[in-house]
Structure 1
Amino acid sequence: MVPIVNAYELFEKIQSADISAYRQRCVAVRNRRATCSRCVQACTSGAIAIDDNSLVITPEKCIGCGTCATACPTCALEAHTPNDAQLQASAIRAMHAADGLSVIACRQIVDAAGRRLDGEKVVAVECLGRIEESLLTALAVEDCRKVVLVAGRCSSCDCVVGFEMARAVCDTCNELMRVWSCSMRVDISERFPSSVRADASQACDVSRRNFFFRAKDEARLAAYLTAEQVLGNPEADSMASASNSDAENHTVMKVMDDGTLPHFVPDKRERLLDNLAALGDPADELMETRLWGHVVIDPDVCNSCRMCATFCPTGAIMKFDDEDGVMGVNHYPGDCVLCRCCEDICPTGALHLYDEVFAGDLLSGTVERNEMRPPKYDMTSPKKSMHMFRDLLNCPDIFER
């Protein structure tokens, strides 16, 4: 995949009542050479697309399914209807009502089932692509014995890529459960378990229940925005105008004192690690998932530019400069989100990002130290261009005016 040339200009158009967009977290915005386009690949409705290497946003096509937020490694996109906390609370309530069985289904099949389902035991989402690992591991912490993701006719659905996202999340969660010796398993099914079938005495029309549930959320949001605007809350103003006022979305991205762009570890990733810690100690083995990466730098090829640390969105790669003159970068596997920005922008191809990580490194705060040779040119010096051209042209008689 080639880099997207206009990600910065059009990124704000993704912003809506259903999705929040944070430009500075997007690796394609942070560096033009980054090739990440997972939001485009995951979009179920064509609202985010690439045409002739340019990002094309069609907001009116967005159905608010949240699959793009699941796919985004840096949480540059976050879903709102419902948000992560609301969805997790609903899933835990339904799981306890079903005696430890969590049933989450796409809204299409829930609406089709109608009053045959016990609405207290099933959680409906617009698309199963909305489900992600921090939610599933939170269910495991709550002693969930099994998660069933009920899909509709996904193969013939326009949102079929959401099903593929759900399957990737399902595989990752099952791998985590295996490594952490947790008995919970996540399965995808085309049928509802019999245990969530409504009693004959129940008169709950789930379709109507889902309608009123959505209406209640929208009414709550409208009431919140009205109240906050009256109180002069700038956050409410930004939500009402679909323009995020978060400090991360300033027009200019400010470089920090260490010469790197600001870092942000997604809340979703922190919740996931907290959940895994609550499940106990993992097996001491390598595992391969869609979530974390392991950075390996070839010191013989590296030119010590440390651009990998400059543009790393989460701080998984950080510069160090010791008092004795030793310099390099530290790698924190637990903070890596496998965005591949570092690998994309390395000018010499010295850095490689591998999908396999040791499970224990994720929770232990393991740091891998990569010492580097001092760079030939001091990139902070105003005379660096003169020195570089002298070497490039093999001509010492180049001077500044």
Structure 2
Amino acid sequence: MSLLHLDVAKCVHTSNKFAICDACVSSCPVDTIEINNSQLSFVPNDCVSCGACVGACPTAAYSVDGFNAIDYVFYLLENSISTISCKEGIPCVAALNSEELLALALLQKSNISIDLSGCESCDVAANNLKQIHALIEDTNFLLQAQERQFSVNVLEEYDAPKQTCSALSRRELLSKNVLQRAGTTIREFEQEVAARDEERIAHAVDKATIAQLKLKQIPKRRSLLMMALKRTTAPNTLHTLPAEEVSFISEKRIEKESCTSCQMCYRICPTGALSSDARNSVINFSATACVKCHSCHDVCEPNAITIKESFSLKQLYAPALENLVTFEIKRCDECGNLFPYHGGEQICSRCQTEEDEAKALWGIS
């Protein structure tokens, strides 16, 4: 059993109380992850360490001790291994995200095999298989759209190579490497004890979390995918795909007439896909930073921001910053601050609110 970790600062519920994302809850085969009032919790002892939540979370907020998806991908590449199996190196195939699997296939430039031979006897397969099949389908769809001649296929039978351990000599037992491994074993034991905790752990926000929220970072899996794409020849045709067929990235539009320029969408965006300038006169969008977490849509009260019906592969091979909306900036007649002007009286929303409250207090309509 490995200990499950949640990086609270990466979770969209931390920065947005209106967030509807429940990917981790839906993916958990033992139903130990819960969301109550934007606070996530789970019981460590209930977790089976399958890593399904790790693969499902759009912002990569979850991790499991002993497994790092990026390291695993590079291990497969360095050793020219084209078979992914829970029998060696990975707790469950569901711990991977389609970005990581797509990057692996592009860098490997060959077919990738997914071993599902152990799923029949696995207690969590009934839940995780749906996620695994969706992972394979998403990856194959994008490989086909990029005109690749390789794909991801399923193995119903697979015998993992057996590893042999040689006995250590006295000199080897006293070596620095062995002593370091002993220290690692102690840490692993401490982690195992923590994983046995039967109390539900609620993940609260502290000062350190608040400081991390200001750091707009894209998940490492996105960096891996973009690196793989740069090392790959672009397809002859950059196809336009149905948006619902692409699970981890999107293109967006903003209806200027509906947008109130409240700034919330780009302030709560966890990756910085949505951004503005020093005067807050624009809202720009970088598709390569979007993880399709839906947080910006959840926080937009007038529903001014929407996902485009299609996604162009041009966003992956020739990424560019797109301007979604531009505002006319004027200086408020009351406070003198700059603000996005939407017509009518030249007064900012803050001063307008104060004026409306004062009129209500005085009984003036």
CA distance in 1, matches of 2:250, 2:310: 6
1:36 maps onto 2:27 in alignment:
no
Give the TM-score taking structure 1 as reference length. 0.68
Asked whether the equivalents of residues 34 and 42 of structure 2 are also in contact (C-alpha less than 8 Å), the reply is: yes
Aligned positions of 1:206-225 closer than 5 A: 223-224=183-184
1:362 maps onto 2:342 in alignment:
no
Structure 2 residues without counterparts, runs of 5 or longer = 166-178, 196-204, 329-339
1:130 maps onto 2:95 in alignment:
yes
Q: Which AA in structure 2 matches 1:336?
A: C
The counterpart of 2:326, out of the listed 362, 371, 384, is 371
Deviation at 1:81, TM superposition (A): 2.1
Distance verdict in 2 for CA 1:385–1:153, change over 3 Å: same
Q: Deviations over 1:159-209 (max 9, x none)?
A: 4222222222212211222233322200234233xxxx68xxxxx657x88
Asked whether the equivalents of residues 52 and 128 of structure 2 are also in contact (C-alpha less than 8 Å), the reply is: yes
Distance verdict in 2 for CA 1:396–1:298, change over 3 Å: farther
Deviation at 1:226, TM superposition (A): 6.9
The counterpart of 2:225, out of the listed 241, 253, 272, is 272
Q: In structure 1, what is the equivalent of residue 30 of structure 2?
A: 45
1:343 maps onto 2:323 in alignment:
no
Asked whether the equivalents of residues 289 and 356 of structure 1 are also in contact (C-alpha less than 8 Å), the reply is: no
Distance verdict in 2 for CA 1:394–1:364, change over 3 Å: farther
Asked whether the equivalents of residues 331 and 367 of structure 1 are also in contact (C-alpha less than 8 Å), the reply is: yes
Q: In structure 1, what is the equivalent of residue 335 of structure 2?
A: none
Alpha-carbon RMSD across the aligned residues, in angstroms, is: 3.7
User: SS where residue 357 of structure 1 aligns?
Assistant: strand
Deviation at 1:141, TM superposition (A): 4.1
Distance verdict in 2 for CA 1:250–1:363, change over 3 Å: farther
Q: In structure 2, what is the equivalent of residue 181 of structure 1?
A: 147
Deviation at 1:144, TM superposition (A): 4.2
Distance verdict in 2 for CA 1:395–1:160, change over 3 Å: farther
Asked whether the equivalents of residues 133 and 272 of structure 1 are also in contact (C-alpha less than 8 Å), the reply is: no
1:190 maps onto 2:144 in alignment:
no
Asked whether the equivalents of residues 284 and 359 of structure 1 are also in contact (C-alpha less than 8 Å), the reply is: yes
CA distance in 1, matches of 2:181, 2:355: 59
Distance verdict in 2 for CA 1:250–1:268, change over 3 Å: farther
1:389 maps onto 2:333 in alignment:
no
Aligned positions of 1:1-400 closer than 5 A: 18-50=3-35, 55-92=40-77, 95-96=80-81, 102-107=82-87, 123=88, 125-151=90-116, 152-153=118-119, 157-192=123-158, 205=162, 223-224=183-184, 250-251=207-208, 253-254=210-211, 261-282=214-235, 283-287=237-241, 288-321=245-278, 327-354=281-308, 356-369=310-323, 370-372=325-327, 374=340, 378=348, 383=351, 385-390=353-358, 393=360
Q: Deviations over 1:112-137 (max 9, x none)?
A: xxxxxxxxxxx453222012234433
Asked whether the equivalents of residues 304 and 375 of structure 1 are also in contact (C-alpha less than 8 Å), the reply is: no
User: SS where residue 170 of structure 1 aligns?
Assistant: helix
CA distance in 2, matches of 1:222, 1:371: 59
Q: Alignment identity in percent?
A: 21
CA distance in 2, matches of 1:225, 1:155: 29
Asked whether the equivalents of residues 18 and 79 of structure 1 are also in contact (C-alpha less than 8 Å), the reply is: yes
User: SS where residue 45 of structure 1 aligns?
Assistant: coil
Structure showing greater relative contact order (alpha-carbon pairs closer than 8 Å, 6 or more residues apart) = 2
Aligned residues: 320
Give the TM-score taking structure 2 as reference length. 0.74
